[in-house]
Amino acid sequence: MRVLFLIFIAAYIGGNVYVFLRALSLLAGCATWLKVLFALIFWLVALAMVIALFARGVGLPDWLMRSLYIVGSVWMVFTLYMVPALLLLDVARLAGLPIRNGVLLAATAVVCLLVYGYWNYRHPRVEHIEIELDKPLERDITIVAVSDVHLGDGTGKRALRRYVDMINAENPDLIVVGGDLIDNSLVPVIRHQMAEELSMLKAPMGVYMAAGNHEYISGIEVVERFLERTPVKLLRDSIVTLPCGLQIVGRDDATNHRRALLKDLVARCDAAKPIMVLDHQPYKLAAVDSLGVDVLFSGHTHHGQVWPVSMLTDKMFEQSHGYRKWSHSHIYVSSGLSLWGPPFRIGTHSDMAVFHLKSTSR
């Protein structure tokens, strides 16, 4: 993981150096002070996300932290598409094509793509999935399943209110959260009193959540205490059995290397009753299927958020997003109701799953 991070940082800095040099060519003939000012602004924007991440808990003003986070995350995706756009135009120019103002042309195309990506992100898909179980349920139930909301500087109170309205509009019997409800820090969540919005979630059978890696980044014990002020019940290697007969197994996140084995948790369940597992990171799904788990809900992958990163997640995971019926288990991997960092969905979609559980055996 550390090697991948270093490769990412090197590629990001290298890409920004290339974009900077190409953009600097537009200022040829301008005064030196103007070029220096441009360089300062460019690199402040390019490194804004890094500054925001390392300045957590330092006490910087809320508006400044949020601005650094948003500007830096937007620039990250801008660079992802700007570099190949400039390379393509440079190759075309070297091939003899009469292309003028290549930097401005590339920037305009990328900005248009980002506008589309933002609109796409703001309109999550609602996936309705009918699941028939051969184990008894007292009655049919509707479950709304969401993951990767990432509350904080990126997903604020207004967005949370919109998501709560979406969830409640489905009139769920039960709500489950597949982890990463919190982003990088609880500070903005508490400052903006987002517990008020979470308290508006309505489900007669309750709201249950598994921990994600970002709950650990934010501080798992602090997150636990925060959630006690909301209807959300955090399950860390624990099991709850609902009156309808459904058993919910909440796994602790894989960040905790001492978490319980799934086979041990499943062994504590009644095999004759339906078993639903909440596990943030969707690894070893074939093993999950072999244990007799009826429904598994995960998140974490975001399906890469933007293309071509989505191609990488397709290679990394047995199931990188969406629904699939395995030999026994019904498995859904959410792309995330919201997202981490840049507010764009390009080649992917935010989603919310609505499971309609029915029993063929009363």
- pLDDT tens-digit readout, 207-242: 999 999 999 999 999 999 999 999 999 999 999 999
| Tens-digit pLDDT profile for residues 255-298 | 999 999 999 999 999 999 999 999 999 999 999 999 999 999 99
End-to-end CA distance of the chain, in Å? 47
Q: Could you tell me how many residues make up the chain? A: 362
Of 122 and 67, which is predicted with more confidence? 122
CA 175 to chain centroid? 18
Domains of the chain: 2-121 (no CATH), 126-359 (3.60.21.10)
pLDDT score of 248? 98
Q: For residue 124, give Cα distances in angstroms to 98, 103, 119, 282.
A: 41, 33, 10, 21
Per-residue confidence (pLDDT) for residue 319, from 0 to 100: 97
The rounded distance, in Å, linking the Cα atoms of 21 and 16 is 8
| Cα–Cα dist 259/257, whole Å | 6
Q: What is the pLDDT of residue 228?
A: 96
Say if residues 352 and 127 touch (Cβ distance below 8 Å): yes
CA distance 215 to 182: 6
The answer to whether residue 245 scores a pLDDT higher than 90 is: yes
Number of Cα atoms under 13 Å in the Cβ half of residue 335: 25
Whether the pLDDT of residue 31 is over 80: the answer is yes
Greater pLDDT, 294 or 25:
294
Q: Which two tokens stand for residue 347?
A: 């080649």
Quote the tokens at residue 343: 């507010």
User: What whole-number percentage of the chain has pLDDT above 90?
Assistant: 79
Peptide bond preceding 308: is omega within 30 degrees of 0, i.e. cis?
yes
Residue 139 pairs with which residues in a beta bridge?
A: none
49 or 287: which leads in pLDDT: 287
Q: How far apart are CA 143 and CA 65, in angstroms?
A: 36
Per-residue pLDDT, 70 = 87
Q: Does the pLDDT at position 362 exceed 70? A: no
How far is 141 from 173, CA to CA, in rounded Å?
Answer: 6
Q: What is the mean pLDDT of the chain?
A: 93
User: Quick check: 98 pLDDT over 70?
Assistant: yes
Per residue in 77-86, pLDDT (tens digit) is: 999 999 999 9
Assign 353 a pLDDT band (cuts: 50, 70, 90).
Answer: very high
Predicted confidence at residue 1, as pLDDT, reads: 58
**CA-CA distance, 141 to 131, in Å (whole number)?**
10
| pLDDT single digits (tens) 183-208 | 988 989 999 999 999 999 999 999 99
Instruction: Please identify which residue in the block is written with the tokens 């992802």.
Output: 80
Contacts of 279 (CB under 8 A, 6+ apart): 178, 210, 251, 262, 288, 296, 297, 298
Beta strands 174-177 and 207-210, pairing class? parallel
Residue 62 confidence (pLDDT): 75
pTM: 0.89
The helix/strand/coil state of 42 is helix
Beta carbons of 120 and 345 less than 8 angstroms apart: yes
Amino acid at 305: Q
Question: What single string gives the DSSP state of each residue in 288-332?
Answer: HHHTT-SEEEE---GGGSBTTHHHHHHHHSSS-SEEEE-SS-EEE
